[in-house]
Amino acid sequence: MVEARRAAINHRKRMLPEAVLRMAAAKAAPARDFPGALTRDAVNIIAELKKASPSRGLLRENFEPKKLARQLEGAGAVALSVLTEEEFFQGELQHLRAARAACALPVLCKDFIVDAWQVWETRAAEADSFLLIVAILSDAALRALLGQGRELGMEALVEAHTREEVSRAVEAGARLIGVNNRDLRTLEVRVETSLELIEDVPDDCLAVSESGVRSVEDLERLRAAGYDAFLVGEHLMESPEPAAALQNLLRRGAAS
């Protein structure tokens, strides 16, 4: 998937020069405070808008980013994550633009970001944050992309799956660390991954548990362990009523 993404980006770079993206980014609305949205003393859920996935196929045939964004904001999400990768997730940047325009929440661009050109593209689309996956980046690239995002007013969510990757994220200067419970190589999901790695996330970093969160019990365990926020996607997208599913998680979580 990463190699396919690199090839797609190389093609797009030839069609759309970075200079054009820089001008578009300069005209974009200021970035909303994505890290700040995750600091409430509450169950902070980043609701993910995802049409399909390689492991589960089509998740939501009737995929309407504007409607979903408004509904999930009303249901209590503190931020959104929008898949923009086309080939494997059936995403697109227009989904992100539509979702952000429809709500007041900060929006994360979730993609395989491996090139500075993509960070310019992300800001030009008015994303407020973006994902960096430690497993697919060198240390030098990770530092450079983090720094570029900050220059553009965006703090990246740096994703790790192992103790070594968390350490690399910390060394690169990440302030927002996500632990992905899905092994990107096998696609196996274990919520226990977050529980095993939380001690490696420094106290001065915000910690986000990603993938596999499907119940109040999951939220309770992860919040008690020290996580500040939780990225929930497939559980919501597979529900006939995503907003109701989110409200159920939050209502029961607040009561417990």
Query: Annotated catalytic residue: which of 50, 85, 165, 209?
Result: 50
DSSP bridge partners of 157? 131
SS3 letters across 136-205: HCCHHHHHHHHHHHHHCCCCCEEEECCHHHHHHHHHCCCCEEEEECECCCCCCECCHHHHHHHHHCCCCC
How many of the other CB atoms lie within 10 Å of CB of 203?
6
Query: Annotated catalytic residue: which of 81, 129, 181, 211?
Result: 211
Contacts of 229 (CB under 8 A, 6+ apart): 38, 44, 45, 46, 78, 79, 206, 207, 208, 209
Query: Annotated catalytic residue: which of 110, 165, 181, 194?
Result: 110
Active site residue 110: yes
Active site residue 248: no
Query: Annotated catalytic residue: which of 53, 129, 180, 194?
Result: 180
Query: Annotated catalytic residue: which of 73, 85, 155, 210?
Result: 210
C-beta separation of 207 from 179 below 8 A = yes
Active site residue 67: no
Query: Annotated catalytic residue: which of 44, 48, 85, 165?
Result: 48
| DSSP conformation class of 214 | -
How far the first Cα of the chain sits from its last, in Å, is: 40
Active site residue 181: no
Active site residue 180: yes
Q: CA-to-CA distance for 46 and 79, rounded, in angstroms? A: 5
Q: How far, CA to CA in Å, does 127 sit from each of 33, 217, 233?
A: 11, 31, 18
Q: Which of 97, 159, 92, 158 is nearest to 128 (CA)?
A: 97
SS3 at position 231: strand
Query: Which residues belong to the active site?
Result: 48, 50, 110, 159, 180, 210-211
